[in-house]
A and B are shown apart, each in its own frame.
Chain A
Amino acid sequence: MLKIENLQAGIEGKQILKGINLDIKPGEVHAIMGPNGSGKSTLASVLAGRENYEVTGGSVTFDGKDLLELAPEERAGEGLFLAFQYPVEIPGLSTTNFIKTAVNEVRKYRGQEALDAVGFLKYMKEKMAMMNMDQSLLSRPLNEGFSGGEKKRNEIFQMAMLEPKLSILDETDSGLDIDAIRIVSNGVNKLRGKNNSVLVITHYQRLLDYIVPDFVHVLYKGRIVKSGTKELALELEERGYDFIKNEVNVGEEA
């Protein structure tokens, strides 16, 4: 599904990703953990095609296509979804209208017919039930005045609406209360399938109790320095990042 090879990227001349390798197969869930500033969001941004990040080396293929060649909206059309760590507000633009535009643009890209108002509403109602989503949020302007948790809920709802092949969740759990974590995780799990993959970026092992990953990777200073299974997350929870930092720093000195 997603194959990242020796990916190097940076911003404003500053190198942040220093050779990332990652292979996500259909149906797999991968988790990325790592200390603040290690480059997790940068990786997500580069994959989604944010303009101001510069790719200086390596390659990314998504479903056989050269991902880095595609415009951000084409990547979305191909089925890549990013739930943002900090979703933006667009004053005055109703969330429903925004999502409807997104759904129909993506459908257009996929060669499907646009949904009319009635069809869209029906589709949205289904997803609302599935995701436990409240109508009142959807009629408000996009993310304007939403609480932190509401913004994250809205991200996952959009994910459900767009039915992506690969979802990248950038710290979707931070800011969520315990019940919301459960609801959001349930939603993600419902969307999991043998053809849908998920890349979860998180600081907390707690989320991984709900969204159980097949692999856990630790990103540190722009590199994946350790990979393992779910147990690695538990070990990190217990011991913190220090033991990994030490390993890496020792390695660097050698």
Chain B
Amino acid sequence: MKTEIYQPEREEKREDLDILEQTVLNEYKYGFVTDIEADEAPKGLSEDIVRFISSKKNEPEWMLEWRLKAYRQWLKMTEPNWANVKYPAINYQDIIYYSAPKQKINPKSLDEIDPELRRTFEKLGISLDEQKRLSGVAVDAVIDSVSIATTFKDQLAELGIIFCSMSEAIQEHPELIRQYLGSVVPATDNYFSALNSAVFSDGSFCFIPKGVRCPMELSTYFRINAENTGQFERTLIVAEDNSYVSYLEGCTAPMRDENQLHAAVVEIVALDHAEVKYSTVQNWYPGDKEGKGGIYNFVTKRGICKGVHSKISWTQVETGSAVTWKYPSVILKGDHSIGEFYSVAVTNNLQQADTGTKMMHIGKNTRSRIVSKGISAGRSQNSYRGLVQVGKNAEKARNFSQCDSLLLGDKCGAHTFPYIEVKNNSAVVEHEATTSKIGEDQIFYCNQRGIDTETAVALIINGFAKEVMNQLPMEFAVEAQKLLAISLEGSVG
């Protein structure tokens, strides 16, 4: 077998980021609660609740039917148990499925947003004030079940770009939603996608028309605030022929002793020559040192490279959540299409992560690249699970996978589960894996140069994760580097 490694071209070589100067945080700093009145559904799940959510959102009949169908399917399904994670059974009747801050419905302008909510996002470092924002990033801010504001909508609309909340998209662009919603992740795909399809509350919709290069980063910031609620967001990105968009997703939640469920679905469609970059910095509350509380993050993310020469690239930095179950995937249908998955997953204390990707090669000359960096500390468990599938018509498909694990201490676990299914002889599939420990000699070397152990660990893990961090848009990269350092604080020395 000939060895060919697919190397994506680097857009720019960037200078080293200076993380350490500001990093002096000890705790999860997003753990506060905003005191706002909420409009909530009663606890529990039933057809009535599904109807309740749909009517709260004034949805058309077809949407309600779509939800009910998903709900009925969900009832027949069972929760998956193949992931390398353990958690007590979730009582789906003990969750609130809809919670919206009581504020003026659909504020007409950004000035009408409840000041308390505005402050909440300010505290999270997200300004909803267009003037104050550094140019180049548009935000959709989602709290619990609803989107409260979307910035730069008008400027984007001038280019024909639609960037709005999912609720609004259902009202304003029903033809697009009907065409694409569930087209990549069908409601019945899995237990959590069925649940999400039944009760999803809000999320973002992005549509980039033919030939348009989106001039700014689009981003959605998800915040869980209310107690006992689950968050079920739904994101859909459609990139038409020859278009480009880079999309970012960030998330945080208050510190609570109870576990909260987050079951999102993200779908991406890339048509001919389109490119979508999707980056996530996942920082849901991970629970405390003893493993109490934290978010269950059960997410289905999938993109389809439908058109020829299209490209979808997932980059994720996963530091939060008590339990993560997440496999951003790409269906490589169009000939010459490209799928990429870059991941850093950090687990500390009692966190558990089972994450990876699926690359499904269907078209000819399709290429995929997987770079997974797992960092485990404390008593955590960190698993990479990846599937590379080459269909019988995928002539000359190529995949390269690199899965590296870094261990801090000897009570944590790192696991790799690569699955490879190849039905075409011309395919080249390569997998490399390494496991290493942060060496005492590496730390001493740094110490000898005046660098304390905590900073040394931050330098070493940032070096380890560099290839993935380099994929992040600049605005996110600095935050993400700090986050890595903070998540591992107290794990060495």
Contact = CB atoms under 8 A, between A and B. Distances in A.
Interface of A: 48-52, 71-73, 75-77, 81-82, 84, 87-88, 90-94, 96-102, 104-106, 109, 114, 117, 141-142, 158, 162
B450 A106 contact: yes
Q: Which 5 A-B pairs have the closest CB atoms?
A: A93-B463, A92-B463, A102-B449, A72-B447, A76-B450
A105 B447 contact: no
A36 B395 CA distance: 59
A84 B451 CA distance: 16
Contacts of B440: 51-52
Contact of B462 (A48, A93, A158): A93
A90 B450 contact: no
Interface of B: 15-16, 18, 20-21, 439-442, 444-453, 455, 459-460, 462-467
Contacts of B441: 88
7 contacts: A72-B448, A81-B448, A84-B445, A91-B464, A93-B463, A104-B21, A105-B449
A20 to B, nearest CB: 20
A80 B453 CA distance: 17
A150 to B, nearest CB: 16
Most chain B beta-carbon contacts within 10 A, residue among A77, A84, A88, A158: A88
Contacts of B20: 101
Contact of B464 (A88, A92, A105, A117): A92
Given A90-B446, A101-B455, A102-B449, 12 more contacts: A51-B440, A73-B450, A73-B452, A87-B445, A93-B460, A93-B466, A99-B449, A100-B16, A101-B20, A104-B21, A117-B18, A142-B463
A48 B466 CA distance: 30
Contacts of B459: 90, 93, 97-98, 101
A94 B467 CA distance: 12
A88 B466 contact: no
Given A98-B459, A105-B455, A76 B444 contact: no
Given A52-B440, A101-B455, A101-B459, A92 B465 contact: yes
A169 B452 CA distance: 22
Given A82-B448, A102-B450, A106-B450, A92 B467 contact: yes
A51 B440 CA distance: 9
A217 to B, nearest CB: 23
The secondary-structure label for the interface of chain B is helix
Nearest to B438: A90
A164 B449 CA distance: 10
A223 B452 CA distance: 32
A76 to B, nearest CB: 4
B460 A90 contact: yes
Given A51-B440, A88-B441, A94 B16 contact: yes
Contacts of B462: 92-93
Contacts of A102: 446, 449-451
* Chain A CB within 10 Å, residue with most, of B439, B448, B467: B448
A106 B451 CA distance: 8
A141 B445 contact: no
A73 B451 contact: yes
A76 B456 CA distance: 14
A250 B465 CA distance: 58
A146 to B, nearest CB: 14
A76 B465 contact: no
Nearest to B439: A88
A72 B455 CA distance: 14
Q: Which of B15, B440, B449 counts the most chain A CB atoms within 10 A? A: B449
